[in-house]
């Protein structure tokens, strides 16, 4: 199967309250990008709170490692994985666009429905 | 022929794409061997999985020739020059840590039949220039290379 050019949408609904559920979706996203797929990670519900400036730096899975969640988010951006957040979920966390880390696009619910239909595969976490 | 900077091994006879941490070796048969550097393997940590692209696939410079995963890192190894994949290192599938232990020898990734080598080599560095560029990068980023047990000594 030719993988190049396929589109994967990763939906992340987990955030800082569940650190062990934060890394893998981003890891999959970067892996798919490295395999030359077009990838977007869509953060909604609790997933949104990891995008607040200064928060992802505090999330470390392995205390002995110097890798934090911010590194994973940056790895996404470095590999052209698009990061997008649900407009409505910002309100849930009393966040404004200024609170978001750089590189995150804000989209509404209708956009995500359109995207979900246009991508080849959706991975939901 | 081998220089060490902050424990990072830099063979002087290879050509390097410094920003991508890849190397190119020119072979007598016109192919080039490509791999990742000691710095790349140190940054990635112990490699758990390596998946190369298929033989016969044409790779433009900058496109992935393989995908590499460690516990903390996943990403592409980018082709430092354009060409068709002529051979892949099948050992990597069973023993991906060859990338850590012998990044310049047993851990080579693919051989390419380059189609624009003379031009593209101009963007790579070799010899003392490569060592100088890496020294600059290693010092600027505070890098230190780490080696697994059984790593190549490069003394022969």
> What's the pLDDT tens digit per position in B36-81?
999 999 999 999 999 999 999 999 999 999 999 998 889 999 999 9
CA B72 from centre of chain: 19
Record the tokens describing residue A12, joined without a space. Answer: 């992340």
Distance CA A18, CA B148 (A): 32
Our CA-based measurement puts residue B30 at a distance from the nearest CA of chain A, in whole angstroms, of 28
Beta-bridge partners for B83: B59, B114
The pLDDT assigned to A1 comes to 61
**Superfamily designation of domain A7-124:** DsrEFH-like (3.40.1260.10)
Distance CA B46, CA B109 (A): 16
Residue B11 burial by Cβ neighbours in a 10 Å radius (0-12, 13-18, 19+): buried
Strand bridging mode B64-70 / B74-78: antiparallel
CB-based contact A27 B64, cutoff 8 Å: no
A22 neighbourhood in chain B, CB within 8 Å: none
The pLDDT assigned to B35 comes to 98
Nearest CA in chain B to A73: B73
Mapped onto helix, strand or coil, the DSSP state of residue A70 is helix
CB-based contact B67 A35, cutoff 8 Å: yes
CB-based contact A30 B63, cutoff 8 Å: no
Mapped onto helix, strand or coil, the DSSP state of residue B25 is strand
Domains delineated in chain B = 2-137 (2.40.50.100)
A67 neighbourhood in chain B, CB within 8 Å: 72-73
> Any CB–CB contact under 8 A between B76 and chain A?
yes
- Which residues, numbered 1 to 60 in chain B, qualify as contacts with chain A under a Cβ-Cβ cut-off of 8 Å? 51
The pLDDT assigned to B155 comes to 73
Q: A71-106: per-residue pLDDT in tens?
A: 999 999 999 999 999 999 999 999 999 999 999 999
Q: Which letter does DSSP use for residue A34 in this model?
A: H
Nearest CA in chain A to B74: A31
The pLDDT assigned to A66 comes to 78
Q: Flag residues of chain B having pLDDT under 70.
A: 156
Torsion from C-alpha of B25, B143, A62, A82, nearest 10 degrees: -70
Q: A19-75: per-residue pLDDT in tens?
A: 999 999 999 999 999 999 999 999 999 999 999 999 999 998 777 777 899 999 999
Check residues A112 and B83 and name the one with the higher pLDDT. B83
Comparing CB atoms, the residue among A34, A67, A79 nearest residue B72 is A67
Cα→Cα distances A58→A66, A95, B73, B119, Å: 11, 18, 18, 46
Beta-bridge partners for A84: A42, A105
Distance CA B147, CA B42 (A): 7
The pLDDT assigned to A96 comes to 95
Our CA-based measurement puts residue A4 at a distance from the nearest CA of chain B, in whole angstroms, of 11
The pLDDT assigned to A3 comes to 73
Distance CA B73, CA B1 (A): 30
Distance CA B62, CA B77 (A): 9
Nearest CA in chain A to B51: A35
Comparing CB atoms, the residue among A31, A67, A75 nearest residue B67 is A31
């Amino acid at each position: 199967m030719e993988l190049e050019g396929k589109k994967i949408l990763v939906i992340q609904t987990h955030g800082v309250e569940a650190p062990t559920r934060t890394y893998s979706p981003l890891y999959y996203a970067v892996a798919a990008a490295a395999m030359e797929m077009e990838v977007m990670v869509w953060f909604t519900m609790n997933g949104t709170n990891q995008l607040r400036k200064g928060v992802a730096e505090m999330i470390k899975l392995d205390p002995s490692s110097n890798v934090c969640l911010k590194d994973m988010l940056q790895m996404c951006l470095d590999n052209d994985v698009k990061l997008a957040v649900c407009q409505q979920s910002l309100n849930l966390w009393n966040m404004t666009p200024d609170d978001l880390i750089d590189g995150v696009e804000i989209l509404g619910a209708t956009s995500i429905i359109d995207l979900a239909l246009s991508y080849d595969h959706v991975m939901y976490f | 022929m081998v220089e060490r900077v902050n424990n990072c091994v830099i063979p002087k006879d290879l050509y390097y794409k410094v920003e991508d941490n890849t190397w190119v070796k020119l072979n007598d048969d016109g192919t080039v061997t490509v791999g990742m550097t000691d710095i790349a393997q140190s940054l990635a940590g112990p490699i758990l999985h390596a998946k190369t692209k298929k033989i016969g696939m044409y790779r433009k410079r900058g496109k992935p020739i393989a995908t590499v995963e460690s516990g903390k890192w996943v990403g592409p190894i980018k082709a430092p020059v354009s060409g068709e994949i002529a051979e892949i290192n099948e050992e990597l599938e069973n023993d991906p840590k060859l990338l850590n232990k012998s990044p310049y020898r047993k851990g080579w990734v693919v051989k390419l039949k380059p189609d624009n080598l003379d031009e593209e080599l101009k963007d790579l560095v070799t010899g003392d220039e490569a060592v100088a560029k890496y020294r600059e990068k290693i010092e600027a980023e505070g890098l230190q290379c780490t080696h697994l047990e059984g790593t190549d000594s490069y003394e022969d």
